[in-house]
């Protein structure tokens, strides 16, 4: 019993030690991320879940002095939870201005060596105050700065825009907030949550702090010189005017800038090009299993690379004969690496075979324009083959069964089928006779065989009018799809008929290009613009109808 008790105690101690080691937590806190040269910032390493803690090694960092200030035991109440542990304090003193990284500091707890998190700190030297372009939320200088990753881009090519404040050491009460977003009607705009550490930058003979405000991704949809308007930011800071510091607010209008948006080239453009811009790869996976008629199988297409994932169009997969295709799309996962938007996006195609046998379900295509190469690319997958078995439980003519091995014949059904066949044959004979009589009549009247019926252009144009009118009341994307289809048909009609004037053909091409840019560039379209485009299409239809009478 004594030996058993000792074993239980040893196991309990081991479990307690393992639990203590597992509960070990190391946190790193820096009281300030920006200080003046000669001042000190306090770095604290908070260790919980251990009793004996000691400094293992203090690293060296060029331009920084890192010194150990001592250890204290602490008990804190943080956000409704208690915390207790050991706090190691270090003084960080910059020896010159600049942006520095405090490397990890090693601490020992028993036989375990842990490392603190590396942190960044900005040191400011006394700055010379510039004399112009000054906005003054406090007694110090503040300047606006907008950085655009590229000043010349193609339609659909993402633009990374970052907004900054340059200042001589304002103590912010909280991070500046955008009150008014940049105004850019010529593109799709999306805010990107990016963390950019403060740094120093030379500006007009001064060394100023560069504070990041916001990052936006823009997808241009219109060609030409376009203005990126800056918007407005609210700056909350601690004023040091008077005897006591107090919080204040100021509004700063951000800097405007411009970019040149180039149209996508016509040379080499695929016939089914859908507006994707970037550099991408395509992976495809589908279940290779035996199917029955009307079973479902999925084809997953994964697009990776860098470029426009925000308004990305799906791969091209035409519905093959004998297979129903249902298209779906997953959310894009994107990240910003420097000035490049990289990501991955999934597209799901559900295939439902409608007949049995070996079915060639075609291939998936994904085309895009590569701005770095200035050329179009098309990615094509291997053919998707389906092995489909007949499902005995679906469809077919069922016979009423009686006892095993016998079946009963329903003579009423057989009689009905025979009568239907006779009636169909009689109808066909009557129809052929009427056609022959009409042929003889035309021959007698004209002295020749009747010509092949001409295309009913007037009826076709009236049909286009109805489609455009109906589509005007639908969602914008449905209207744009209908508008592009109608304009494409009109362009084909203009190419076939010399009676349509060149001016009308040019107007069709211009309006088609406008619809194309809005649809595939991702530009938002309002009710007024839908009404305007609808009116222009209907006016073109009336003019074409007049010329082809």
* Mean pLDDT estimate for the chain: 79
Q: Residues with Cβ < 8 Å from 377, sequence gap 6 or more?
A: 280, 367, 368, 369, 370
- Its sign, for the CA torsion 494, 495, 500, 503, is positive
Beta carbons of 345 and 366 less than 8 angstroms apart: no
Assess whether pLDDT exceeds 80 at residue 75.
no
Q: What is the pLDDT of residue 136?
A: 43
For 388-417, write each residue's pLDDT tens digit. 988 644 444 343 434 444 445 555 666 667
Residue 455: pLDDT band with limits 50, 70, 90: low
| Cα distance between residue 488 and residue 498, in whole Å | 17
| Cα distance between residue 186 and residue 261, in whole Å | 10
Nearest Cα neighbor of 308 from 263, 275, 339, 277 is: 277
Assess whether pLDDT exceeds 80 at residue 355.
yes
Residue 208: pLDDT band with limits 50, 70, 90: confident
Beta carbons of 102 and 60 less than 8 angstroms apart: no
Residue 184: pLDDT band with limits 50, 70, 90: confident
CB-side exposure of 126: number of CA atoms within 13 Å?
1
Assess whether pLDDT exceeds 70 at residue 211.
yes
Q: Residues with Cβ < 8 Å from 218, sequence gap 6 or more?
A: 158, 159, 161, 184, 187, 188, 189, 228
For 411-436, write each residue's pLDDT tens digit. 566 666 766 765 666 666 566 556 55
Q: What is the pLDDT of residue 243?
A: 60
Q: What is the pLDDT of residue 160?
A: 94
Beta carbons of 316 and 367 less than 8 angstroms apart: yes
| Cα distance between residue 489 and residue 249, in whole Å | 58
For residue 541, the SS3 value is helix
Beta carbons of 335 and 391 less than 8 angstroms apart: no
Q: What is the pLDDT of residue 321?
A: 82
Beta carbons of 503 and 475 less than 8 angstroms apart: no
Instruction: Work out the angle at residue 368's Cα, subtended by the Cα atoms of residues 364 and 369, and round it to the nearest 5 degrees.
Output: 160
**Phi/psi at 109 (nearest 5 deg)?**
-130, 100
Assess whether pLDDT exceeds 70 at residue 92.
yes
Nearest Cα neighbor of 137 from 182, 163, 164, 169 is: 169
For 102-154, write each residue's pLDDT tens digit. 899 988 888 888 888 888 888 877 543 433 333 444 445 678 888 999 999 99
Q: How many CB atoms lie within 10 A of CB 2?
A: 6
Q: How many CB atoms lie within 10 A of CB 476?
A: 16
Nearest Cα neighbor of 38 from 80, 92, 79 is: 92
Residue 81: pLDDT band with limits 50, 70, 90: confident
Mean pLDDT of 231-243: 71
Q: What is the pLDDT of residue 141?
A: 66
Helix and strand counts by DSSP (H, E) for the chain? 6, 31
Nearest Cα neighbor of 249 from 194, 170, 340 is: 170
Assess whether pLDDT exceeds 50 at residue 200.
yes
Highest mean pLDDT among 285-289, 439-443, 519-523: 285-289
Beta carbons of 544 and 492 less than 8 angstroms apart: no
Assess whether pLDDT exceeds 90 at residue 318.
no
Residue 10: pLDDT band with limits 50, 70, 90: low
Structural domains in the chain plus CATH codes: 23-121 (2.60.40.740), 142-262 (2.60.40), 278-389 (2.60.40.740), 457-547 (1.20.120)
Residue 219: pLDDT band with limits 50, 70, 90: very high
281 or 249: whose pLDDT is higher? 281
Beta carbons of 257 and 355 less than 8 angstroms apart: no
Q: How far is CA 71 from CA 52, 54, 55, 89, 104, in A?
A: 11, 9, 10, 6, 17
């Amino acid at each position: 019993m004594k030996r058993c008790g000792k074993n239980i105690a040893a196991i309990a101690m081991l479990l307690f030690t393992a639990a203590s080691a597992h509960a070990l937590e190391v946190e790193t806190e820096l009281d300030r991320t920006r200080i003046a040269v000669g001042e000190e910032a306090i770095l604290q390493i908070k260790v919980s879940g251990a009793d004996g803690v000691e400094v293992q090694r203090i690293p060296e960092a060029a331009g920084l002095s890192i010194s150990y200030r001592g250890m204290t035991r602490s008990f804190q109440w943080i956000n409704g939870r208690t915390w207790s542990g050991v706090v190691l304090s270090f003084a960080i003193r910059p020896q010159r201005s600049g942006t520095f990284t405090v490397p990890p500091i090693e601490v020992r707890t028993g036989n375990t060596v842990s490392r603190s998190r590396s942190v960044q700190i900005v040191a400011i030297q006394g700055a010379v105050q510039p004399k112009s372009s000054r906005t003054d939320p406090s007694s110090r200088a503040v300047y606006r700065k907008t950085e655009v990753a590229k000043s010349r881009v193609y339609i659909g090519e993402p633009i990374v825009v970052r907004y900054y404040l340059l200042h001589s050491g304002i103590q912010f009460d909280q991070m500046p907030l955008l009150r008014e977003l940049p105004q850019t009607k010529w593109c799709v705009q999306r805010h990107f949550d990016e963390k950019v550490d403060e740094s120093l930058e030379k500006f007009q003979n001064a060394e100023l702090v560069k504070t990041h405000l916001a990052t936006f991704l823009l997808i241009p949809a219109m060609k030409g010189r376009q203005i990126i308007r800056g918007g407005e930011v609210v700056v909350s800071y601690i004023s040091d005017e008077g005897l006591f510091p107090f919080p204040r607010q100021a509004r700063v209008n951000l800097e405007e800038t411009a970019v040149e948006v180039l149209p996508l080239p016509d040379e080499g453009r695929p016939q089914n090009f859908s507006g994707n811009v970037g550099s991408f790869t395509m992976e495809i996976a589908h279940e290779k299993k035996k199917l029955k008629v009307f079973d479902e199988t999925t084809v997953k297409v994964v697009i990776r690379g860098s470029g426009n994932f925000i308004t990305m169009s799906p791969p091209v997969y035409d519905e093959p004969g004998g297979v129903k295709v249902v298209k779906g799309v997953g959310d894009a996962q994107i990240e910003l690496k420097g000035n490049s938007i990289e990501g991955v996006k999934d597209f799901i195609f559900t295939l439902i075979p409608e007949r049995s046998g070996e079915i060639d379900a075609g291939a998936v295509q994904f085309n895009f324009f590569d701005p770095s190469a200035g050329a179009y690319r098309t990615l094509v997958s291997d053919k998707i083959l389906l092995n489909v078995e007949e499902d005995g439980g679906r469809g077919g003519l069922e016979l009423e069964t009686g006892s095993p091995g016998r079946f009963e014949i329903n003579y009423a059904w057989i009689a009905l089928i025979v009568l239907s066949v006779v009636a169909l044959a009689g109808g066909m004979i009557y129809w052929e006779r009427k056609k022959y009589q009409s042929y003889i009549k035309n021959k007698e009247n004209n002295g020749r065989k009747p010509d092949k019926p001409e295309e009913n252009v007037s009826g076709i144009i009236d049909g286009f009018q109805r489609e455009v009118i109906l589509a005007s009341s639908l969602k914008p994307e449905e209207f744009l799809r209908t508008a592009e289809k109608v304009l494409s048909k009109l362009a084909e009609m203009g190419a076939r008929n010399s009676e349509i004037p060149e001016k009308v053909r040019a107007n069709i091409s211009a309006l088609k290009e406008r619809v194309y840019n809005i649809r595939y560039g991702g530009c938002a379209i309002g009710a007024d613009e839908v009404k305007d485009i609808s009116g222009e299409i209907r006016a073109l239809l009336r003019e074409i109808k007049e010329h082809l009478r």
